[in-house]
Amino acid sequence: MTTFFPTAEIAPKNTDPLAVVGPLVAQRTPTAFESMEYKCFSIDPVTPTIGAKVSGIRLSGSISGDAIAELQHALLEWKVLYFRDQDIERSDHREFAQLWGELEQHPFFKYAQPGQSEADVATLAKDGMTGGVENTWHNDVTWHTHPSHAAVLRAVEVPSLGGDTSWADMAAAYDLLPQNIRDRIDPLVAEHDWMDSFGRFMPKENTDMLRPQFQPVHHPVVRVIPETGRRVLFVNSGFTTRILGVSEAESDELLTMLFRHVQRPEFQFRLRWQPNTVAFWDNRTCQHYASSDYFPARRVMDRISIVGERPVGISG
């Protein structure tokens, strides 16, 4: 696992309880989990804890069982994997995503190709008529009882400049919190809702129709990843509305602090898209942010998400 150690003390006179003076050093502690030698492809990490380029594998056709096992391990270790020069079809994209579980039918992004009945491919198309609105840190669909396990995003058309996507490591973010903050948030539960995000752009008749199907849900503030035992922050500014069991003032204080903490560049990896680039990330362990800096240029991405499990906290 990866453990973060501040190299300087928390400044005693600083009113920000998360302010650290000096560099943040990531120390990778060898464990049985991280000892795999990748034989089916090569891995080139981008940062000490999150993001890795995968080379020497094609995401179409038959992928061996050994390669699938190594990819699963790499995803748990690096949280975001990306692949260049993947000139694949939408059908190949779907087949690769299906290797990891049931495909998610997103209720707000039902964009199927003409003649295609499936609603599991969300085409995110932005141009001079429709600007990007995903430029906030979030995990996908945490307003579901079973948020996405992972997602596979394929670049169909990218602008010449801008349109990058960034991911933030929520395990590293948790590790760097002072112990007294971890003690406060470890047992807490938060509410997640879609009304202030998706609902903001919908006509009232649509939100009235969808609300009975998608009520606010409750998830642990600190989630435990079953395959690794890692603790990760599981609140995000896109969908987390409040922390239960505390006053409104304390809820606001904690969420503001944690949302700001997530924005530290030390936790982040930024991907410059190229045509035929594919990114595969663990939605449980990282948040992402799509830079909306390319308007009015055109950007088209196909995303397929994999259904996840109900989040489990430290107490089970």
The domain spans of the chain are 2-306
Per the listing, tokens 């069991």 go with: 245
Task: Kindly report, residue by residue over 196-238, the tens digit of the pLDDT.
Answer: 766 566 677 776 677 677 789 999 999 999 999 999 999 999 9
The residues pairing with 268 across neighbouring beta strands, listed in sequence order, are 168
The answer to whether 184 and 272 are in contact (CB under 8 A) is no
Say what the pLDDT of residue 18 is.
Answer: 74
Query: DSSP class of residue 22?
Result: S
Task: Kindly report, residue by residue over 264-301, the tens digit of the pLDDT.
Answer: 999 999 999 999 999 999 999 999 999 989 899 999 99
Q: Are strands 80-83 and 52-55 parallel, antiparallel or unpaired?
A: parallel
Say what the pLDDT of residue 29 is.
Answer: 44
3-state secondary structure at position 87 = coil
Considering only 58-72, 87-101, 102-116, 221-235, which range has the smallest mean pLDDT?
102-116
Say what the pLDDT of residue 35 is.
Answer: 59
Say what the pLDDT of residue 290 is.
Answer: 92
Domain spanning 2-306 has what CATH number? 3.60.130.10
Instruction: Please spell the DSSP secondary structure of 240-284, one letter per residue.
Output: EEEETTS-HHHHHHHHHHHHHHHT-GGGEEEE---TT-EEEEETT
Considering only 33-42, 56-65, 220-229, 237-246, which range has the smallest mean pLDDT?
33-42
Per the listing, tokens 């010449």 go with: 160
Known catalytic membership, residue 303:
yes
Region 4-18 average pLDDT = 51
Known catalytic membership, residue 288:
yes
pLDDT at 107 over 50: yes
Q: Which of 140, 175, 193, 282 is catalytic?
A: 140
Q: Which of 138, 149, 192, 299 is catalytic?
A: 138
Q: Which of 93, 288, 299, 302 is catalytic?
A: 288
Instruction: Please spell the DSSP secondary structure of 123-138, one letter per residue.
Output: EEEE-SSS-----S-B
CB atoms within 10 A of CB 6: 14
State the Rg of the chain over Cα.
Answer: 20
Say what the pLDDT of residue 15 is.
Answer: 61
